[in-house]
Every structure is written in structure tokens, then in C-alpha cells.
Amino acid sequence: MGTMAARFYPRPASAYTFDFIYQRRPRQLNIADYNTGTVACPSTTAVTGTSTAWGTKHIGSVIRFAAAGEVNPPTGLQGLYPYAYERIITDVGSTTTLTIDEALPETLTGAKYRISDPLDIEDGASLTGLMRSMEKQMRLFRRMKSVDIQGEEAALLLAIMQAREADVRSMAMRSAGGVVNWRLRLAQMPFNPG
């Protein structure tokens, strides 16, 4: 989740250099919060729900499990009720059974949980722009007055512009003021880890 990968099949027999361009789109956000019922999860990838109504729309969503004994559904790590475990739903067998991508290290019984769609935000490219946008929205919702509104707006616009620049990975032929007769290979691309 949140990473890029290229997979080749069958596996190459020796080392090659591959150039490729691909386009991806994040999945549509449909589930903001679902936490009806409780779950039981042995130390396997099978999860059983009580009073749940899971469906195929939950496949690919994130499920967070509350710590044993917690009576409230889990929040994010910075919330009031941080989750103990976080997994991805890989299959839904029925309204009360689903499969997760990796087994939990402990058995949970009658545990609270929360399901939501993942946000596909790359840390190095878009996270700062998202945070500046959230700061602006929180200020507006809480009707907070800012001392430096122009400075905050400039920081937001700069963060969004930098996010757009960092997210453009197309290596298609582009030129301004002339024609470039060669195409850079991926090995010659600048590397910016973050």
C-alpha cells in the first residue's frame, strides 16, 4: 500500500535493464468508517464477525483491530483509542467472514474493529500538500483566526505545487524550444528519496 512495484513473470534468468512507463489511479473512496459488531481472529488470516454485514466492497480496505479488552472502536495511532493491529482485507467469504493479508500475532475474541478505505498518498510526493490542506480546513471549521493568512495560503499553494511536481513521473518525449534526439534511461534519472 502506498508504494510502487513492477513485477515480471516469468522471473528473468539474468539481470536486465528495463525501461517502462505506467499509469496508476487510486481506488475510489467508498468506505469512510464501518465498525458494526465485533470480531474474533485466531492467529490465522481468517476473521469471524458477530453482527457484521461485510461485503465485496470491503475487499482491499484497511481493517484495524482494537487492543484486547478495549471497548471502543480503534482510531489512528494519534487518536484516543490507538489500534493494536492493521491489516488489508483480501477476501470476503460472507457477511460474517473475511480474510486478511497477514495473520495477527495474537488471538482476539470479541474485539472492536474499524474498516475504512486506504488513502493512496505517497509520503515524499503528496503528504505535505495534504497536511497543509487539512490545516486550512481545520482552521475554517473551527473558525480560528490566523495571524498570517497570506503566509499560510502561500505555504499551501507551494506545497500543492511541489506535490504536483514530485508526482509527475512521465518520461515521455517533451521539449521546449527544440527537439531532443535522445531519451533518458531510468538509470540516468535523478533519484530523490524524499
Question: Which ranges constitute the DSSP H helices of the chain?
Answer: 127-141, 149-167
Q: What's the Cα-to-Cα distance from 183 to each of 6, 20, 21, 99, rounded to whole Å?
A: 21, 12, 13, 45
Q: How far is the CA of 113 from the CAs of 69, 133, 159, 167, in angstroms?
A: 12, 28, 34, 33
Pick from 24, 29, 100: nearest CA to 59: 100
Burial of 34 per CB tally in 10 Å (0-12, 13-18, 19+): buried
Cα dihedral 118/123/127/129 (nearest 10):
-130
- Assigned C-alpha cell, 172: 515521455
Q: What is the pLDDT along the chain (194 residues), one digit of tens a residue?
A: 556 677 778 888 888 787 777 676 777 888 889 999 999 998 889 999 999 999 999 998 999 999 888 999 998 887 889 999 999 999 999 999 999 999 999 999 999 999 999 877 777 778 888 888 888 888 888 877 767 778 888 888 998 888 888 877 666 665 555 555 556 666 666 666 65
Contact 62, 117 (CB under 8 A): yes
Where are the chain's structural domains? 38-116, 121-169
Beta bridge partners of 89: 100
